[in-house]
Amino acid sequence: MSLRRSDVRNALAEQDNLYTLAIRDEQISYQVIGAIRELLVAPEDREAVLQRLCAPATQVVTITVTEKGYCLAGDGSLDLSHPDIQRDLRNPRAPSSVVGFLAEAIRRRKECRLPPFAVISCDNLADNGRKLAKATAQFAREVDIALASWIESEVPFPRTMVDSITPATTPDLERSVEEALGLRDRWPVQREAFLQWVLERGDHADGPDWESVGVTLTSDVAGYELAKLRLLNGAHSTLAYAGSLAGHRTVAEAMANPALRELIEALMVGDILPSLKPPADLDLHAYIRAILQRFRNPNMHHALAQIAMDGSQKLPIRILGTVRDALAAGRSLDRLCMPLAAWMAFVRRAALRGAVLDDPLAARLAEIGRACTGEGSADVPRFLALETMFTADLRSEPRFTSALVHAYDLYAMRLA
């Protein structure tokens, strides 16, 4: 089911819902996948979506909507002022948001005395299952207290961690697939060979045989998740903004820049690693080496512009937790502020060029960017006023604000 757009449905409808998976590693391989039976577009066929969710055979619902699709406030709770949530609260029987669809489907299943499905988030959101559970129950509480209680007591929302770099589909990918297979695929998918899916053990264990397809079942998803969010995703965001400012287009290009490569390695080993307490079977030094190798993969054309999307949503999750841990431990913030400063400079550059950012806060960021002067002491407070990103404890912490101003000034000099 697509929550918003019909382009994937339209493309796959012409090819019997088949698509090509291109594994882009040292050896590139192709596989035609036939796992999709049906694609529904929610705004066009809301009732059909709800019927599928309420079918007795439906045991598992997976969610992949990126961080912004959860409609969360800065503290991780449901943003009741979000336009999509406001609309769904006015008419909960005709939902448009992820949380609205889940609440309505669960209500119907409860009414029909059907067991609940397990809701499995596959997004890069810290504590994703619990946050989605809390948001869904919070939404339900606004319309039906009994439903909220049932969600809290009966519906499984296991935490997950998914890791495989998957760049967006591009015309270049479509051409390479056609050359390799002799067939035109209107929506091929590409990813690296590395693949990791970690799923929390729980009441959903009676569903699919997860381990038979390589899923790691564990009681410590948080350890895997935090390592991935901070090391891989945090480094990705750093490359997205610092690399773009340096004129690079892809992750591999940025990693070929000695200064950026040195920054990323030092950030991961010197600043992020000390903040992590991994599961016993996760070797963080080996994990860092694997990430750096994955970033250097020349066959993965992972566009920095894709990673740079939704920075206002991603950076609090990927960077600011590490910043808080460093503050508590008395560690340096100099490198940790570089990705934040690079993002601020990236926003300012977009405003100077009249470019529109792909971000839920695009209009607000454009105003801030246009008001920026290139002086950190004046510009950084404008960004820190974004309460959905920077909480009061960070805005009032001089060690953080001074390090951020210093890092911003370094980028501002390069843009001058």
pLDDT for position 210: 86
CB of 291 closer than 8 Å to CB of 240: no
pLDDT for position 206: 58
The residue among 66 and 39 whose pLDDT is bigger is 39
- The mean pLDDT of the chain is 93
Instruction: Give dist(CA 23, CA 261) in Å, integer.
Output: 24
In sequence order, which residues have a C-beta less than 8 Å from that of residue 67 and are 6 or more positions away?
Answer: 123, 124, 125, 310, 313, 314, 317
Q: Helix 128-143 crosses helix 145-154 at what angle (to 10 degrees)?
A: 160
For residue 22, the surrounding DSSP H or E stretch is strand 19-24
pLDDT for position 204: 57
pLDDT for position 416: 54
Put residue 71 in one of left, alpha, beta given phi > 0 → left and psi -120 to 50 → alpha. Answer: left
Note the pLDDT tens digit of each residue in 240-294: 999 999 999 999 999 999 999 999 999 999 999 999 998 888 899 999 999 999 9
| DSSP designation for 2 | B
Percent of the chain with pLDDT over 70: 98
Percent of the chain with pLDDT over 90: 83
pLDDT exceeds 90 at position 76? no
SS3 assignment for 82-140: CHHHHHHHHCCCCCCCHHHHHHHHHHHHHHCCCCCCEEEECCCCCCHHHHHHHHHHHHH
- CA torsion sign for 182, 185, 191, 194 is negative
Instruction: Give dist(CA 173, CA 356) in Å, integer.
Output: 25
Note the pLDDT tens digit of each residue in 142-172: 999 999 999 999 999 999 999 998 888 889 9
pLDDT for position 117: 95
Q: What are phi and psi of 107, to 5 degrees?
A: -60, -45
124 confidence band (pLDDT: 50, 70, 90): confident
pLDDT exceeds 90 at position 239? yes
- Token pair in block for residue 8: 């994937």
Strands, E assignment, 265-354: none
Rounded to an integer, the average pLDDT of 110-123 is 95
The residue among 325 and 282 whose pLDDT is bigger is 325
Q: What are phi and psi of 189, to 5 degrees?
A: -125, 140
pLDDT exceeds 70 at position 31? yes
Strands, E assignment, 36-129: 60-63, 118-121
Top-tier CATH class for 221-415: mainly alpha
Rounded to an integer, the average pLDDT of 5-33 is 93
Q: What is the pTM of this model?
A: 0.76
The answer as to CATH 3.40.50.11540 being correct for domain 45-157 is no
Put residue 126 in one of left, alpha, beta given phi > 0 → left and psi -120 to 50 → alpha. Answer: beta
CB of 255 closer than 8 Å to CB of 239: yes
Rounded to an integer, the average pLDDT of 173-190 is 94
Residue tagged 């949530």 (tokens): 85
Domain assignments of the chain as residue spans, ordered by start:
45-157, 221-415
The angle at the Cα of 318, spanning 314 to 321, to the nearest 5 degrees, equals: 125
